[in-house]
Amino acid sequence: MTTSATRSPVPRDHPAAQAAGGAGGGQHRTPLVTRLFGRQPIGMLLAAPYAVFIAVIFAYPIGFAVYMSFTDYYFTAPGVTVPHPFVGFDNYKTVLTDPAVLASFGHVGIFLILNVPLTVALSLGLAVALNRAIHFRTFFRAAYYVPYVTASVAVVAVWLFLFSSTGLVNQILGPLAPDPSWLVNSVWAMPMIALFVTWKQLGFFILLYLAALQNVPKELYESASVDGAGAWRSFRSVTVPGVRQATALVLLLAIVTGANLFTEPYLLTGGGGPDGASTTPVLLMYQQGIQQGKPSTASAIGVVLVILVLIVALVNRRLTERSER
């Protein structure tokens, strides 16, 4: 896209404009209000509620969590003053040498390896299918969205019924069913959680892709068809590049929500079972920070988790940007 110089006058604060008007104009001071709040103070005013929201709901708790992770902290009643001595990296040493914490990060790693590619592949594939003129399209769109809007507690009960040792799945599989059954099997517990979360959140990611697909020009498909491209070639060469921005968003959201996994191991595998095979960092944060009154170590786990998620998100961004170039 080009910009016409004739249609776009040079901004007043552009160096060219300054050079033209500045000669012999002398130096004039900008009012204090402008220096503090910019040339459009109303903009700051409009942005203020959201900035305050971010500061109170997001920045303050994160800052406080980092502070707690470097102190010996516990929650007290108002008016009760207790020392919160600085302990350096002691809390980090504690959590990073705790086999249960390290295992929980490993479990989330397994979860992400399974959940993220599955989420991207299935949601894109189903979105493409639902974008076509198929029978019952509206019904299918709603059907995929239902698990997403249903409370985890309710759908967990259905999965417990399906995947218990006497459940429907094992009855169909017969002698091929694993023993112990899926949700109490150390090998299968985490993959089952990954599958459950993929299924539950698919509707949301399909919606993202459906929105992105509306922006892929039909002409590109027609050109590809004229050039002799089949359905698969069109998908690879037109659809996938056309929804790349949506893919970056889906990847990011899947990674962030996956790293914060709590409800599913809490309910589906009875608190991270069997024998701790499906514990997650957030589950341990709940146990240590809320139940056991050790917010310092819980915060240290949280900070490590945030750092790891940022690293993964950064790598993801670099990879998607590179493929965009």
Partner 1 sequence: MRPSRPSRRYRHGLAAAVLAGAIVVLTACGSSGGGSTDAASAHGPIKIWYSNNEQEIAWGKQVVDAWNTAHPTEQVTAEQIPTGKSSEDVIGAAITAGTEPCLIYNTSPAAVPGFQKQGGLIDLSSFPDGTSYIETRTGALAKQYASTDGHYYQMPWKSNPVMIFYNKDLLTKAGVDPTKPPLATYDEFLATAKKIVDSGAAPYAIYPAPSSEFYQSWFDFYPLFAAASGGKQLVADGKSQFNTPEGLAVANFWQQIYAQKLAGNETYTGDAFADGKAAMAIVGPWAIAVYKDKVNWGVAPVPTATGMKADQIHTFSDAKNVGMYASCTNQGTAWDFLKFSTSQEQDGQLLTLTGQMPLRTDVPATYADYFAKNPDYKLFAEQAARTVEVPNTANSVEIWQTFRDAWTSAVIFGKSGVQQAMTDAATKIDQLASQK
Binding site for partner 1 (CB under 8 A): 13, 15, 18, 22, 27-30, 34-39, 51-52, 55-56, 59-60, 63, 74-82, 100, 157, 160-161, 164-166, 180-181, 183-184, 186, 267-276, 286-287, 290-294
* Closer to partner 1 by Cβ: residue 83 or 228: 83
The CB-of-302 to partner 1 minimum distance in angstroms stands at 17
The CB-of-256 to partner 1 minimum distance in angstroms stands at 22
The CB-of-69 to partner 1 minimum distance in angstroms stands at 16
* Closer to partner 1 by Cβ: residue 5 or 80: 80
* Closer to partner 1 by Cβ: residue 86 or 161: 161
* Closer to partner 1 by Cβ: residue 94 or 320: 94
Distance CA 45, CA 39 (A): 12
The CB-of-274 to partner 1 minimum distance in angstroms stands at 5
**What type of residue is 53?**
F
Q: For residue 325, give the H/E element and its range.
A: none
Query: How many CB atoms are located within 10 Å of the residue 259 CB?
Result: 21
The CB-of-146 to partner 1 minimum distance in angstroms stands at 20
CB-facing half-sphere around the CA of 216: CA atoms within 13 A: 25
* Closer to partner 1 by Cβ: residue 157 or 311: 157
Residue 206 tokens read as: 């399909």
**Residue 118: closest CA among 249, 253, 254:** 254
The CB-of-195 to partner 1 minimum distance in angstroms stands at 17
- Name the residue with tokens 């990879």: 319
- Name the residue with tokens 């009154």: 293
The CB-of-61 to partner 1 minimum distance in angstroms stands at 10
Q: Do residues 251 and 116 make contact, with C-beta atoms less than 8 angstroms apart?
A: yes
DSSP H helical ranges for the chain: 15-22, 32-37, 41-53, 60-69, 90-96, 99-131, 137-149, 152-163, 168-173, 189-213, 218-226, 231-234, 240-242, 244-259, 263-267, 281-285, 295-324
Residue 146 tokens read as: 């239902």
* Closer to partner 1 by Cβ: residue 59 or 311: 59
The CB-of-173 to partner 1 minimum distance in angstroms stands at 16
* Closer to partner 1 by Cβ: residue 78 or 228: 78
Helix pair 152-163, 189-213: axis angle to 10 deg: 130
* Closer to partner 1 by Cβ: residue 28 or 325: 28
Phi, psi of 270 (to 5 degrees): 60, 45
